Amino acid sequence: MATTTYSLAELETVFAGLSVETPIPQYSDSDVLHNPLDLCRSYLADLLCKVAECKPATAYRSIQWPNNIFGGDLTVTLPKLRPGVKPNEFALDLMNKFPNDHSLFLLPMLDGVHLRVFIVSETLSRLFLPYILDRKTTFGSHDTPSFDGLRKKLVVEFSSPNIASEFQGKHLRSTIIGAFVSKMHEALGWEVTKLNYLGDWGKPIALLKVGWDKFGNEDAYQANPVGHLLDVYHQIEELFQPEMVASRQARDEAARNGQDEGEAQLEIENRGVYAERNAASKELEDGDEEALAFWKRVREANIENYKDFYAELGVEFDEYTGESQIKPETMAEVEQLLKEKEICKESAGAWVIHMQDYGLKAGTAIIRDRTGATTYLLRDLAAIIERSRKFEFDKMIIVAANDNNMHFIHVHHILKAIGMEHLANKVQHLRFSEVSKMSEKLGKGYRPQAIISHCEEAIAAALQTDKEKAEMFGCPAESAKALGVSSLVTHELSTRTASTHSFDTCAMTSFKPGTGLDLQFWHAKLGEILAGHAVAKQLSDEDYEALADDNPANLLRILVQYPEVTHAAYQSLEPAAIVTYLASVTEQLAECLSENEEVIEDGVDPFEDGVGAEIIPKEDTANDEAIAPGFIALYEATRVVLENGMHLLGLVPYANV
Ligand code: ARG
């Protein structure tokens, strides 16, 4: 059974064998070759057409996926099937007409305005166990978005740390969410380009240059380039901080007096570190050789360091671009459009856009500051235009924390104002909550690698607390590294993107369902159980019947939902949906195994069906005699789903071999 490649014809042969009517009904929204529930939806829609006497499209649209198996395998929303009906009467009528010996569906249950539909367990295993085992690594993925026969192009921009300062919690979360978004789209057939848009230009780099001239030390740099640069940055930041506070106070004071910019503020900014920073920024913008050589050195040292960290996380980029890489010609092009259309106005030496004229209630967007330097905003406007020309993308997703919200709202409205609405609509800012408390835990001056070491230490401690489970992972020192990364990645993806999120090593290193440690544990456990067992080519009727008991049947019903879950996560861009789902898989697997282990340990036939009745207590048995063939197939299918889900999240299933 593991050797078939399920085509429509082969599916129909299986159906015919189960006395389900063929050919398989065709619905345009249905993807029967990739999604088992779509197959059931199509049959249910056909059945509803007959019993409710409605149009096929109406019937199909009335069927939903209930999110968890306890509400049925599918639900029918009665008012969608026939608007304005009294659900009770309508349901009664439908149920009277519903065949009570259907080989695919049990008689539905009425629940409010819904009919809850359950698939017949025996059919479920006969149909879908081979389906999952046949699809293997592709189960849950499919080629959707073809466009005139071409694959659609997606650009994902993520991580994007600022090279002058530490890699923050928000950059970590962006890295992990961005990698997920990329994998998810690849699995669904998009051509994906991954960009890292470094914050490698502008005032922070200029400040670092001022710091380097005061505190830089070549020997210290050679010994630890990124570490020394961070030291230098903190030293100059300390000197700069009071000036910045004073300048802000002066600006607020001026604003209270109804002025845009006051004398007092200018005076502060024209001396001290402020003035030095502005001068360094001008040198950079003007292409001063020494300033550029410094910037290049800092950039390269950081990229090398990031690459090392990303490799530990298993993340790769197609391109390291950054604010510094935006061409002056493209920025000039944007400015020209803005000036021609009189969108951008001069104000106290700076070029600004009053956003109340462009679809927002208030706000001023700065295109060039009063020192003549380009801004983050101007660079982003130009970056989007450059990328659209270079990659000809159908869609671009920029994964950046909530602190960028207003910025991207400005970007969107300005692109619209300059006549690029079409482009603006292709760009999505995937925002997420930035609270992390990571810097509090790691202190100042950490390199990103410290994040992983911190998790590794927490894992090593967690493995001490549950020695029995820890045994599954073999050598603690070796496993701590792999498990540290898994725990971190899963934790970052486990809360909805908009929910507050913290860097909580305690939560991330527990064995609770849905943690990286838990997923890895059950994956390893399946490896142990299945070692030496091959899935049988053909299962007998008894094998299938054994799987009709609640625990195995529920496990399979959960597995069958996987393509539905990936599709929902793809549409919502919420990886947490996959984490929650995988937690339900491991919980149900645990139920199944504990029932099985109990009986195995007691030395009785687990299925009370005579099959595998020679089961003997665990200690005395060779692995291969303890599990019935149906269960081997079920556990293998569970491993397929667990692995596919883990890969999608960016985890490498840990193998203790
Ligand atoms: N470097 C920015 C930050 O640290 C994130 C960049 C977001 N992307 C962009 N195209 N502006 O917040």
Helix (H, G, I), strand (E, B) or coil at 355: helix
Which of 142, 144, 127 minimizes the C-alpha distance to 34? 142
**Over the range 116-137, which residues count as b (16 or more CB within 10 Å of their CB) and which as e?**
bbbbbbbbbbbbbbbbbbbbee
Query: Is domain 465-649 classified as CATH 2.60.40.10?
Result: no
Q: How far is CA 195 from CA 161, 162, 178, 295, in A?
A: 12, 14, 10, 20
Identify which of 374, 404, 409 to mutate to test ligand 1's pocket (most ligand atoms within 8 A of the CB). 404
Give the tokens for residue 517: 């440690």
Residue range 153-442 forms a domain whose CATH class is: alpha beta
Helix (H, G, I), strand (E, B) or coil at 435: coil
Tens digit of pLDDT for each residue in 21-67? Answer: 889 999 998 999 999 999 999 999 999 999 999 999 999 999 999 88
Q: How far is CA 366 from CA 145, 250, 309, 348, 517, in A?
A: 38, 19, 34, 12, 46
Find out whether 494 and 544 touch, Cβ atoms under 8 Å: no
What average pLDDT does this structure show over 378-404? 98
Architecture, CATH, for domain 8-119: 2-Layer Sandwich (3.30)
Measured by CA distance, the residue closest to atom 5 of ligand 1 is: 160
Whether residue 364 has pLDDT greater than 90: yes
Q: How far is CA 639 from CA 523, 542, 630, in A?
A: 7, 23, 14
- What is the atom index within ligand 1 of the atom nearest the CA of 408? 11
Cα of 197 vs centre of ligand 1, distance in Å, is: 7
- Render 221-258 in DSSP notation, one character per residue: HHH-HHHHHHHHHHHHHHHHHHHHHHHHHHHHHHHHTT
What is the structure's pLDDT at 15? 85
The runs of H, that is alpha helices, within 263-420 are 263-269, 272-286, 289-313, 328-340, 376-391, 405-417
Alpha-carbon distance 92 to 56, whole Å? 21
Q: Which phi and psi angles does 76 have, rounded to 5°? A: -115, 125
pLDDT band at 612; cut points 50, 70, 90 = very low
Which of 134, 139, 100, 135 minimizes the C-alpha distance to 120? 100
Tens digit of pLDDT for each residue in 122-145? Answer: 899 999 999 999 999 999 987 665
Amino acid found at 611: V
**Across the chain, what does the average pLDDT equal?**
90
What is the structure's pLDDT at 166? 96
What average pLDDT does this structure show over 246-257? 88
Q: How far is CA 214 from CA 181, 209, 236, in A?
A: 43, 9, 8
**Crossing angle of helices 169-187 and 629-649, rounded to 10°:** 130
Whether residue 469 has pLDDT greater than 80: yes
pLDDT band at 261; cut points 50, 70, 90 = low
The answer for residues whose C-beta is within 8 angstroms of residue 415's C-beta and 6 or more apart is 381, 384, 421, 423, 424, 427
Cα of 383 vs centre of ligand 1, distance in Å, is: 12
pTM more than 0.90: yes
Cα of 422 vs centre of ligand 1, distance in Å, is: 22
The residue ranges of every structural domain in the chain are: 8-119, 153-442, 465-649
The answer for residues whose C-beta is within 8 angstroms of residue 165's C-beta and 6 or more apart is 204, 230, 233
Tens digit of pLDDT for each residue in 92-133? Answer: 999 999 998 898 999 999 999 999 999 999 899 999 999 999
Tens digit of pLDDT for each residue in 161-180? Answer: 999 999 999 999 999 999 99
Output the ligand 1 site: residues, CB below 6 A: 157, 160, 162, 197, 199, 380, 398, 400, 404
Identify which of 156, 157, 159, 160 to mutate to test ligand 1's pocket (most ligand atoms within 8 A of the CB). 160
Per the listing, tokens 């920029």 go with 398
